[in-house]
């Protein structure tokens, strides 16, 4: 079945290209973008621009309480950190390492940091080889997917995670099994979907709704569309996105029951 679904545009910028975005419980938006005029990395926070600290190649941004966390997806051998926490004025509070080849990052209700890695990290030499890792707010390792769950399908590329603070769990969808795996905040397995329909394979973001419904963005067979998947009955609907001409350029992030979609110049959101 094919239907349509609308997202709400909540932010637009004219002077740069959006790289990442986040939304907190107060629906305050953070945007990491690259300025069009000089290539400077900037953060848009509460209507004001902050310049990213010099020589820090930020690729991800997340709220961290009242502060914000900037993360670089890559960590070179001579670098001591690839994550920064800065305040709303741009002052650096702390810096730390989260491993190489970061694909996804989010925080749970205990301020623990969940990080999913892509293949170059998983087949590399840093903590990214674990596929999915949970760090405490003090940056201690609390959970390592491959070490702690050797009997689960291995993660070769962590395409999508969704930290659900309301339900105290984390959802994972990863290459190459594509199983939907649900963990509690200690890393204990709550649910493993087993084999999923081909239509889900390749999804790059996910959000969790009510009544066993999971929403997966842009799988291989349905690029720039949304799959509404009923886990219990293993049925799905294909939902075409209605975001105007920007639909072809969207990328996404899951935040529990929220799905954030970004085009180069706009941010869209939908609650499920």
Res 269: pLDDT: 96
Residue 174 contacts residue 158 (beta carbons within 8 Å): yes
Residue 219 to residue 187: CA distance in whole angstroms: 26
Residue 71's domain is classified under what CATH number?
A: 2.120.10.30
From residue 77, give the alpha-carbon distance in Å to each of 14, 15, 60, 116, 119. 36, 34, 20, 19, 17
Mean pLDDT (10-residue bins), the chain, 272 residues: 88 96 94 97 96 96 96 95 96 97 96 97 96 97 98 97 92 96 96 92 95 94 94 91 83 95 96 94
Which tens digit of pLDDT belongs to each residue from 34-78? Answer: 999 999 999 999 999 999 999 999 999 999 999 999 999 999 989
Total domains in the fold of the chain: 1
Residue 266 sits in which domain range?
2-271
Residue 21 contacts residue 61 (beta carbons within 8 Å): yes
From residue 161, give the alpha-carbon distance in Å to each of 44, 157, 213, 252, 255. 24, 11, 15, 11, 8
Say how many residues make up the chain.
272
Res 72: pLDDT: 98
């Amino acid at each position: 079945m094919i239907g349509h679904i609308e997202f709400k545009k909540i932010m637009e910028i004219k002077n740069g290209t959006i790289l990442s975005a986040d939304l907190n419980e107060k629906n305050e938006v953070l945007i990491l973008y690259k300025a069009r005029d000089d290539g400077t990395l900037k953060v848009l926070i509460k209507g004001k621009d902050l310049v990213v600290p010099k020589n820090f190649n930020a690729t991800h941004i997340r709220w961290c309480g009242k502060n914000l966390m900037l993360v670089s997806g890559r960590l070179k051998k001579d670098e001591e950190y690839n994550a920064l926490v800065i305040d709303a004025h741009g002052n650096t509070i702390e810096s730390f390492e989260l491993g190489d080849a970061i694909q996804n990052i989010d925080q749970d209700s205990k301020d623990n940091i969940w990080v999913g890695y892509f293949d170059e990290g998983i087949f590399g030499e840093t903590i990214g080889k674990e596929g999915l890792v949970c760090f405490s707010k003090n940056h201690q390792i609390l959970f390592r997917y491959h070490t702690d769950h050797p009997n689960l399908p291995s993660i070769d590329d962590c395409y999508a995670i969704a930290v659900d603070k309301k339900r105290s769990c984390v959802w994972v969808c990863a290459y190459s099994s594509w199983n939907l795996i649900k963990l509690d905040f200690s890393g204990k397995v709550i649910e493993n979907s087993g084999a999923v329909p081909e239509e889900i394979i390749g999804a790059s973001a996910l959000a969790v709704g009510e009544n066993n419904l999971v929403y997966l963005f842009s799988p291989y067979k349905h690029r720039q569309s949304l799959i509404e998947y009923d886990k219990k009955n293993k049925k799905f609907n294909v939902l075409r996105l209605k975001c105007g001409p920007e639909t072809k350029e969207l990328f996404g992030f899951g935040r529990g029951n929220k799905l954030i979609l970004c085009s180069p110049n706009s941010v869209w959101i939908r609650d499920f």
